[in-house]
Amino acid sequence: MKKSQKPIPRHLNDFLDWLEIEKGLSSKSQENYARFLKRFLDWLRLNKLENIKPHQLTAEQVWKYRTFLARQYTSKKYAFKEKKTLQKTTQSYYLIALRSLLNYFADRDIISLPAEKIKLPKKTDMRIVNFLNLEQLEKLFSSPDTLKINGLRDRVILEVFFSTGMRIAELVSLNREQIKLKPETKDLEIVIIGKGSRPRTVYFSEKTIDWLRKYLETRKDKEKALFINYKNKKGSSRRLTARAIEKSIKKYAIMAGLPLTTTPHVMRHSFATDLLEQGVDLRTLQEFLGHKTLAATQIYTHVTSKRLRDIHRKFHSDGKLKE
């Protein structure tokens, strides 16, 4: 182990390289870590600690930084309302980034405060998961005008979201060559590269394949992307963007009279919720969703808890034992 003579802020670029090479994180994830660490580096500067070395950082200073986070306000403007402090979950993101920096120091044999010295705020409430039930999904699926080329494309996108549980970044990166359909094809599975560059298999239902086949029959272009924008200027990329998909889903949600909170990620939640309601266990769902840990999948306990309660009522209700 060695003492680094470089101040902590000057380790940032090497830390981001470590996230890419050693942890295999995407450029987007690296951007998020850099953004969360920036607040810590700003705090160091405010407290005239910008020249502090890794081995000089103390548990007391980390405690003061935690106090600083707990008393920060969100950047959102609340007209005529009391300003809101950062949620516990958001505070945790900043602290997780700092813990990762300390783990980087340990991995590079640089003396620093152990990462386990940084405690995360205790969760005070369960994360709320928004999802659509089957009736709402049918209304959403019926909203696009499939007689128009862009409406047919949008219907396919909705079907693919619900059939596969893909994240929006995974869906927009799909290419036509990945969808190999033969006349007799009734089910399809492909391997995609998901979050954290982790490969996983996703599955297309027979219904989704039928819609994909109709859509692909209309494609006379040579574009590589599976989903394209029909309004792009000549010469520019025609691959449909995540922002365009988000806007179209919001439009169809309004048309169907569904909550404005309907987003691509709500479609992913709906996929997960439907599987759980059909009896799929959390560990299997973890594989379907491509979660790195089971803890990430446990946000869906609203479904498992309800199912367990219903089972308990059915098989262990009052009055089954005779006095």
C-alpha–C-alpha distance, residues 17 and 11, integer Å: 10
**Residue 11: which residues within 8 A CB-CB, separation 6 or more?**
4, 54, 101, 104, 105
Which DSSP letter does residue 86 get? P
Which candidate in 155, 167, 200, 269 is catalytic? 167
Task: Name the amino acid, one letter, at 138.
Answer: E
User: Taking a C-beta distance cutoff of 8 angstroms, is the pair 300, 285 a contact?
Assistant: yes
Q: What is the largest CA-CA distance in the chain?
A: 81
Among residues 195, 200, 239, 269, the one annotated as catalytic is 195
How do beta strands 199-204 and 188-193 pair?
A: antiparallel
Residue 313: active-site member: no
Q: Measuring CA to CA, how many Å separate 60 from each of 4, 75, 88, 120, 154?
A: 20, 27, 20, 15, 54
Give the three-class secondary structure for 299.
Answer: helix
Please name which of 204, 208, 192, 206 lies closest in space to residue 159, comparing C-alpha atoms: 208
Catalytic residue among 11, 99, 155, 291: 291
291 is catalytic: yes
Q: Is 11 a residue of the active site?
A: no
Answer yes or no: 99 catalytic.
Answer: no
Count CB neighbours of 39 within 10 A. 18
Catalytic residue among 23, 265, 312, 322: 265
Q: How far apart are CA 257 and CA 255, in angstroms?
A: 6
- CA 1, distance to chain mean position in Å, is 36
Identify whether 265 is a catalytic site residue. Answer: yes
Find the catalytic residue in 268, 269, 302, 314. Answer: 268
Q: Is 300 a catalytic residue?
A: yes
CA-CA distances (angstroms) from residue 138 to 116, 143, 144, 250?
48, 9, 11, 15
Residue 148 dihedral angles phi and psi, to the nearest 5°: -100, 145
Q: Which residues are catalytic?
A: 167, 195, 265, 268, 291, 300
